[in-house]
């Protein structure tokens, strides 16, 4: 251990537990997702103050299409509303939006909204990367195809074609709601990330919880295979 505390630059979160939050309160699942968006909003506002360069959020996986159609519709509508309501704030607060995943496969109106949001936030300094229609295995296959088309597949050439190529290395991966699995999220990028699994359900996750996670991270010993 080098004895110095370290700062996390890039934190990724698997935002899980919206459904269970709603169930505990005898509310419809949609209310859990709505409250989940509130948690996102508060966290994005806190990012700069917490010293993060990049926050990556798993919002919709390529496997989440398996859910009932009305739940998928609710999630897509929340996405539309969130972009519309929060884009001005992103621009004002210098939040640069980045999207990972096969997001061009979403509904055309959402794709158009996202293209506009990406363009208008391009000058931001803190990155909010949102994983939409994201699956890590699919991402790696896409990257491998592109790397092969450009010549040799190496760790470097493949990484350059991942959706995260422009983001800083992943320092800390957090999953809420007590589940201990990656669910096809950032499999390549998490090779040497620190992991934190917390029981808090996503709608209850606050900037204070993130601060606690960063405090925990600052005391971890990272070895990257060395000694």
Residue 59 touches ligand IPE, criterion: CB under 6 A: yes
Pair of tokens at residue 14: 């698997």
Indicate which of Mg ion, ligand IPE, none lies near residue 200 (CB less than 5 to 8 Å, by partner kind).
Answer: none
* 166 and 10 Cβ atoms separated by less than 8 Å: no
Interacting residue with ligand IPE among 61, 127, 189, 200 (CB under 6 A): 61
Residue 16 touches Mg ion, criterion: CB under 5 A: yes
- Map residue 175 onto helix, strand or coil: strand
The DSSP bridge partners found for residue 130 are 57, 99
Q: How many helices (H) and strands (E) does the chain have?
A: 7, 6
Pair of tokens at residue 68: 């009932």
Establish whether 64 is a catalytic residue. yes
Please, what is the end-to-end C-alpha distance for the chain in angstroms?
9
Window contacting Mg ion (CB under 5 A); options: 15-23, 59-67, 160-168, 214-222: 15-23
Angle, to 10 degrees, between the axis of helix 69-92 and the axis of helix 108-120? Answer: 20
Helices (H), the chain: 18-24, 29-46, 69-92, 108-120, 136-149, 155-160, 207-218
Indicate which of ligand IPE, Mg ion, none lies near residue 20 (CB less than 5 to 8 Å, by partner kind).
Answer: ligand IPE
Establish whether 16 is a catalytic residue. yes
Query: Nearer to Mg ion by C-beta: 126 or 177?
Result: 177
Window contacting ligand IPE (CB under 6 A); options: 9-17, 78-86, 158-166, 207-215: 9-17
Closest distance to ligand IPE from the beta carbon of 66 (Å): 9
Q: Which of residues 187-226 bind ligand IPE (CB under 6 A)?
A: 202
Q: Which of residues 15-44 bind ligand IPE (CB under 6 A)?
A: 15-20
Pair of tokens at residue 87: 């884009």
Contacts with ligand IPE, 152-181, as mask; x by CB under 6 A: -------------------------x-x-x
Residue 64 touches ligand IPE, criterion: CB under 6 A: yes
Residue 22 touches Mg ion, criterion: CB under 5 A: no
The DSSP bridge partners found for residue 96 are 127
Name the DSSP letter for residue 178: T
Strands 126-134 and 95-100: parallel
Binding residues for ligand IPE (CB under 6 A): 14-20, 58-61, 64, 75, 177, 179, 181, 183, 202
Q: Which residues are catalytic?
A: 16, 64
């Amino acid at each position: 251990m080098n004895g110095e505390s370290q700062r996390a630059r890039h934190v990724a979160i698997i935002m899980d537990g919206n459904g269970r939050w709603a169930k505990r309160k005898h509310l419809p699942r949609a209310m859990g997702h709505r409250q989940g968006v509130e948690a996102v909003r508060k966290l994005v506002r806190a990012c700069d103050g917490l010293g993060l360069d990049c926050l990556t959020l798993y919002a919709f996986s390529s496997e989440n299409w398996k859910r009932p159609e009305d739940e998928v519709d609710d999630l897509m509508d929340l996405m539309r509303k969130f972009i519309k309501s929060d884009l001005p704030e992103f621009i004002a607060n210098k939040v640069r939006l980045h999207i990972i995943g096969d997001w061009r496969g979403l509904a055309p109106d959402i794709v158009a909204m996202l293209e506009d949001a990406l363009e208008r936030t391009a000058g931001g300094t803190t990155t909010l990367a949102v994983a939409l229609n994201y699956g890590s295995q699919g991402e790696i296959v896409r990257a491998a195809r592109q790397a092969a088309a450009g010549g040799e597949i190496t760790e470097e050439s493949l990484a350059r074609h991942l959706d995260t190529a422009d983001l800083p290395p992943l320092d800390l991966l957090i999953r809420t709601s007590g589940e201990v699995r990656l669910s096809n999220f950032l499999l390549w990028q998490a090779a040497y990330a620190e992991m934190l699994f917390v029981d808090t359900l996503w709608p209850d996750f606050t900037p204070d919880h993130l601060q606690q996670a960063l405090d925990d991270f600052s005391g971890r010993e990272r070895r990257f295979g060395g000694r």
